[in-house]
Structure 1
């Protein structure tokens, strides 16, 4: 075992999970570019070596402390320049910690307290900043054109003794006397950052998960209306769901100053909600409260939590923002509960679940005839049912239902998305595009707007634009197994095999989780079968397809996807058997979808295929 005294540099990306959630491919490409063009050359120039890469971070060692600090400073300055041409929400920023300490060397790797201290220093460094230990400060002295800000003795996690910590000021002109506190920048004072972690379902019933998730989403929505707060969006925070993360770790991963966490226990007409606001850097609790109330008080509780955050963070609330937050979506808590349940069911897209979702939305409307979101939900269910079972639902009724939602709340993104979907079903593509654009302008994090708009663009042959929106939809809902399957097919048509396989794998993973959760739903089975066919896994694809038909032998969407499975696997007659069960029952918009679907390319020359689609080119009823 070899020991040596060395300078250790630990670096990590700020808010890496948030960046990956927003743009996985772009973030990975940018990080690779920064490594090869900036970080690795600077480390080599200063005679250091990279000990290991840790996903979004690295560990390096230098024989010279002065070289280690100089290298860290050049990297941070270089990152500032490289971020200049990038929107602020896409900045890649590093935290860096530097320590001089004794380490153990084994097989090229480093271990021991020296490494641990460097890693802890990196964890408390400011975004884009460098935190160093007292031993580093003493050795560097005045050798570099840098200033050091004394942060005092710091107790670092799992480090026995307190460590004197200094923050490096890269711009000497901004130096403060050592031991002086650094004033918070004006922009940071005015715009605090917060993440609302998914509230934990403590009801003992997994079927109640929709309620705790719905409450989390509503608090995020309310906080997002406050201009003085930067709130991490839903899709990013929900990547933390189910993970054992400390609040400090979550704050670092999401790149925020504050974290709200909590739990929900719903039992009959009572609800118990616990919530706590935590300072992300220290883990200190700024505020905590427990509410034991009637379920009818749920909106009042949400308002109280929002008010507490505003007060604790000393955020200025404008009158318009206060009014927007106070406006509850419905006065009827039972209607709200039915709406949340319906929205969860509607994302499954199979006929049985759509009918179930529609009953939930209809019950919500019965309880509150002015509930715009519930009307939009009914319209969306009917649009999907119309697409796959054209004779069962009136298109005029769908347009009327979505118009009702818009009349009740003209600023509701869900209502505009529902109107867009109805117009798409009607073949009014230009008007549908206008509604989708409006929905995204009102709420670009709205799953339905991204998903439905992507489907429209697909039917128009704009595959690249459709792929972008499907990717956003997949990011917004980590349980969405439908978008990855669409993306797999799109990238197959675009001739991008690596992306095709990546999304196919994700589709299988998500479909498998969904099937475990709801084994009675055929949707994950037939979509998973299609993804497996794209991956060339013949036997598993056949098993999943058989399972889908066993679950629901009358589901048109299942027969269509299984037709695609057989088509991809070269079983053309079997593909036609399933396709012939679908075509007579669907809308003309779906026929247009089929004609763009590259999964059916292998059977397009089949005589039965040509004859089948000849009948679909004849005029249908004017409204469809």
Structure 2
């Protein structure tokens, strides 16, 4: 390539400078080698590219088997929605190679590649002060101050027990969370960093892919009642180690070690940081390591599976029994309780009341934990306390503005507060922070926002990210297709909803999904009714 290129084909755009593939403006997750392979196929579009040539272009002089190329092609086809038997994009020429066959428009990327930046919520004009002799390249995109882009790679589990991986993952996640509290840092998300878990990495290549200058990596080794944590900070641009440290402590001191790691990284990275209210914004760690492990295990379970959700609830209950002042455990258990309420009969609010009490207790225990505010906001929404919902979801974003979950939660709450147009910006912000953020409820709520704005084609595009047949998703799909005039698809999804949930009714759905704006509820009810769902 002569320079940064942009390739447009069908509904896709590939931008080489930003290292991103977009579908209808939304990022599509691709492994680095699959992205490089697609770039080569697009550059040589229409040409038959031999397998050996592609292996050399993408994998260079490394020894790899031909099967690696086949797997990358399969990944591309999955990402593009292509079919090897009837290809629209990538044609296989048997025993010879591959050809990109779709029409492509190519243009130069005239603007220089910008450092990817997690958006920062607007605040007052106070700024973090940075001292130091070393010049640091900073992103200009922050709304309220300069920021240093940094990624924390998954700390390696050196315990020799694969079952302990959740512990090293949890340490990594907590370091990411604590670093994210510093407004002078733009910390890449867990989903972005954890793509490199368990593999040998070229730090400079990772830095290019994540568009950061600094990389944090390390390891965790548990030895009986002791833990050894190693951490190092790497300046990928200079190719040098800035700092490295080893901590060998009793397990009971693990949270003190974690705080020391975060403090040292930050002070090394940006000099003396004058942060207002540093002590006030630091999360209080649980007193019990066993309670902490229960939360890690519960968080790792798939909550959309009923058995896993029940197990997670038990783990959060156990965490509270071990540490009665563990705010996050109370908050997460609140989420499990109001999840049960969704399927309860109208008027049976015991589970919601219990969730409210737990969420309120979490806030009392730790008013500076953003997750506690976010989950309390969601409980307030379900209780139709809309003003409290708005207050606490905004507080969650203020406390941790680079948390993609907070941004997505904000989008979700704004829908029910009657501000679907503003919700779209927050859903996009969540993906700006984390291009790999793709939990099912995110796409469901994103689609609902478009539906309420009468932008039905865009709503369908969001719902299409959801392959499952959960009754709430099917009901929304049915309503959307009905409102856009596609009766056949509306009836199809209505049937799927009723097959999954025979007792479904529009009244029950709306009772469990409160809208501040009655017109929003009426539109959704109209769509479901047109689709044939029972009142």
* TM-score normalised by the chain length of structure 1: 0.53
Contact 1:339 1:361 (8 Å CA) reproduced? yes
Q: Distance in 1 between matches of 2:508 and 2:525?
A: 18
Who is 1:604 aligned against? 530
Who is 2:467 aligned against? 528
> Cα distance 1:323–1:292, how it changes in 2: closer, same or farther (>3 A)?
same
SS at match of 2:237: coil
User: How far has the Cα of 1:246 moved from its partner?
Assistant: 1.6
User: How far has the Cα of 1:399 moved from its partner?
Assistant: 2.4
Who is 2:325 aligned against? 370
| Equivalent of residue 465 in structure 1, options 422, 426, 434 | 422
Who is 2:258 aligned against? 302
User: How far has the Cα of 1:280 moved from its partner?
Assistant: 0.8
Contact 1:385 1:393 (8 Å CA) reproduced? no
Who is 2:491 aligned against? 570
SS at match of 2:396: helix
Correspondence 1:278 to 2:199: no
Contact 1:198 1:237 (8 Å CA) reproduced? no
Who is 2:391 aligned against? 434
Structure 2 unaligned spans of 5+: 7-14, 28-36, 45-111, 116-132, 140-145, 479-487
> Cα distance 1:401–1:587, how it changes in 2: closer, same or farther (>3 A)?
farther
> Cα distance 1:203–1:560, how it changes in 2: closer, same or farther (>3 A)?
farther
Who is 1:581 aligned against? 503
Per chain length, whose mean CA-contact separation is higher, i.e. which structure has more relative contact order (CA < 8 Å, sep 6+)? 2
Who is 1:264 aligned against? 220
User: How far has the Cα of 1:401 moved from its partner?
Assistant: 1.9
Q: Distance in 1 between matches of 2:318 and 2:251?
A: 18
User: How far has the Cα of 1:260 moved from its partner?
Assistant: 0.7
Contact 1:225 1:324 (8 Å CA) reproduced? no
SS at match of 2:252: helix
Q: Distance in 2 between matches of 1:237 and 1:367?
A: 33
After TM superposition, the structure 1 stretch with the greater mean CA deviation from structure 2, 259-268 or 405-414, is 259-268
Larger radius of gyration: 1
User: How far has the Cα of 1:584 moved from its partner?
Assistant: 9.9
* TM-score normalised by the chain length of structure 2: 0.61
User: How far has the Cα of 1:261 moved from its partner?
Assistant: 1.2
> Cα distance 1:430–1:304, how it changes in 2: closer, same or farther (>3 A)?
closer
Q: Distance in 2 between matches of 1:528 and 1:584?
A: 22
Q: Distance in 2 between matches of 1:473 and 1:374?
A: 24
> Cα distance 1:329–1:596, how it changes in 2: closer, same or farther (>3 A)?
farther
SS at match of 1:529: coil
Q: Distance in 1 between matches of 2:497 and 2:283?
A: 52
User: How far has the Cα of 1:352 moved from its partner?
Assistant: 3.3
Who is 1:495 aligned against? 455
Q: Distance in 2 between matches of 1:234 and 1:196?
A: 8
> Cα distance 1:277–1:445, how it changes in 2: closer, same or farther (>3 A)?
closer
Contact 2:167 2:293 (8 Å CA) reproduced? yes
Q: Distance in 2 between matches of 1:206 and 1:597?
A: 50
SS at match of 1:388: coil
Who is 1:590 aligned against? 512
Contact 1:238 1:478 (8 Å CA) reproduced? no
Correspondence 1:184 to 2:125: no
SS at match of 1:604: helix
1:467-493 deviation line (CA, Å, top 9, x unaligned): 443444566473623312443455466
Q: Distance in 1 between matches of 2:157 and 2:278?
A: 29
Who is 1:398 aligned against? 355
Correspondence 1:482 to 2:441: yes
Correspondence 1:342 to 2:298: yes
User: C-alpha root-mean-square deviation of aligned residues, in Å?
Assistant: 4.7
